């Protein structure tokens, strides 16, 4: 599975953490790059229905920690957030024993 977002997220599979990662994706200059993370979920998926969930928070994209700002400072010493609307997107690739390959892309409408 490949996942990314604007803001940090924690990914869960069937209620359990997808990995030991925290605060994915890492900081970047969001005006230029948005990083993604690859997860191997082979051992966490089961036959039948599975549930994938992501909890998205402000992080470096839209957050602040009081006197520490996580967004660009301009020449006049003012700060502007990278953005205000958080998002998450993912692409899950499933490979089956019979050679089939299915791709599921996240959809905010579901």
**pLDDT tens digit sequence for 22-61:** 889 988 888 889 999 999 999 999 999 999 999 999 888 8
For residue 51, the model assigns a pLDDT of 95
Q: Is the pLDDT assigned to residue 81 strictly greater than 90?
A: no
Vertex 91 angle, CA 90 and 95, to 5°:
145
**Structural domains of the chain, ranges and CATH numbers in brackets:** 2-105 (2.60.120.260)
- Please state the rounded mean pLDDT for residues 72-78: 66
pTM, entire model: 0.82
Q: Is the pLDDT assigned to residue 102 strictly greater than 70?
A: yes
Residues 83, 96: Cα–Cα separation, whole Å: 39
């Amino acid at each position: 599975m490949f996942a990314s977002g604007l803001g940090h997220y924690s990914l869960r599979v069937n209620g359990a953490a997808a990995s030991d990662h925290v605060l994915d994706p890492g900081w970047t200059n969001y005006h230029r790059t948005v990083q993604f993370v690859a997860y191997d979920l082979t051992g966490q998926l089961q036959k039948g229905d599975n549930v994938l969930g992501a909890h998205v928070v402000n992080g470096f994209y839209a957050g602040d920690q009081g006197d520490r700002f996580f967004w660009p400072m301009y020449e006049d010493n003012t700060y502007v957030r990278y953005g205000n609307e958080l998002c998450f997107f993912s692409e899950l690739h499933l490979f089956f024993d019979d050679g089939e390959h299915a791709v599921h892309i996240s959809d905010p409408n579901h």
